[in-house]
Amino acid sequence: MSDFLEVNQANFQSSVLESPQPVIAEFGADWCRPCKTLEPVLKQLGEEWSGKVTMAHVDVDNDPDLATKFNIFGVPTVILFIDGREVDRFTGYQPKERIVARFAPHLQLG
């Protein structure tokens, strides 16, 4: 997960909610197979959207309070934050095209 900003209770406010860039935060866990399938897709999007979006990862086992705060009932759950607000989310594995179709309209990618 080195290409993702590791986010936890201590740095969530500054890294996600106060980020000058949109943040795509994946709430996942080490034991989660769909998370492992989704992460390379998110990594690829992070490379394509480099400089426009920050990719972050929250380990729900290490930070259950964050998972509770954002109503994470299943992993992976991916949330797009813009200006500190949740703009969109999805749960479970999604193919790249579906993620782009969902999140790109919210982002200034041009």
The one catalytic residue in 35, 38, 60, 72 is 35
- Listed as own residue / partner, the contacts of 43-48 with beta carbons closer than 8 Å and 24 or more positions apart are 43/3, 43/4, 44/96, 45/96, 45/99, 45/100, 46/3, 46/4, 47/3
Catalytic, 79? Answer: no
Kindly name the residue from 32, 41, 45, 58 that is annotated as catalytic: 32
DSSP per-residue letters across 18-68? T-SS-EEEEEE-TT-HHHHHHHHHHHHHHHHTTTT-EEEEEETTT-HHHHH
Task: Tell me if residue 19 is catalytic.
Answer: no
The residues carrying an active-site annotation are 32, 35
